[in-house]
Amino acid sequence: MIEQVMALLTHQPLYWIGVAVVVLIFGAGLVKKAVKIVILALILGAGYAYYLQEAAQAYVESARERVEDAQDQVEDVQDRMSDVRDRLEDAKDEAQEMGEKARDLIDRAEDLIER
């Protein structure tokens, strides 16, 4: 069977032309499909790259917002600590004044007792 086909092809050049045309058409179809696959792959790759870029930008923006929130919280804590420090200083001053008044009262009481 194969031998007959080979013999027919070798003796009839017109069949060679027909086979060559079929091979060219088949090859052109393969090339078209390959080009379509490459184009599809490029489009998908570009879309995925765009998605990754958008996701990265969203992540960076979210991280910036978190950092800003943390900075605001740190500033709030620093303000509160400053208020507490001021109140402690005021309480210390009041305690010292009360201690001085207590010493004065004790000294007066001792003077009164001695008289």
pLDDT per residue as tens digits for the range 72-92:
999 999 999 999 999 999 999
φ, ψ (nearest 5 deg) of residue 107? -65, -40
- Which residue from 100, 106, 65 is spatially nearest to 73, judged by alpha carbons? 65
Number of domains in the chain: 1
pTM equals 0.50
> What is the tens place of the pLDDT at every residue in 43-65?
999 999 999 999 999 999 999 99
Specify whether the CB–CB gap between 9 and 15 falls below 8 A: yes
Q: What is the pLDDT of residues 18-33, one digit of tens each?
A: 888 988 999 999 999 9
pLDDT computed for residue 92 by the predictor: 92
The domain of 22 spans 2-114
**Cα→Cα distances 15→23, 28, 49, Å:** 12, 20, 50
Q: Decide: 9 and 19 in contact? Cβ < 8 Å.
A: yes
**Closest residue by Cα to residue 71 from 83, 63, 82, 86:** 63
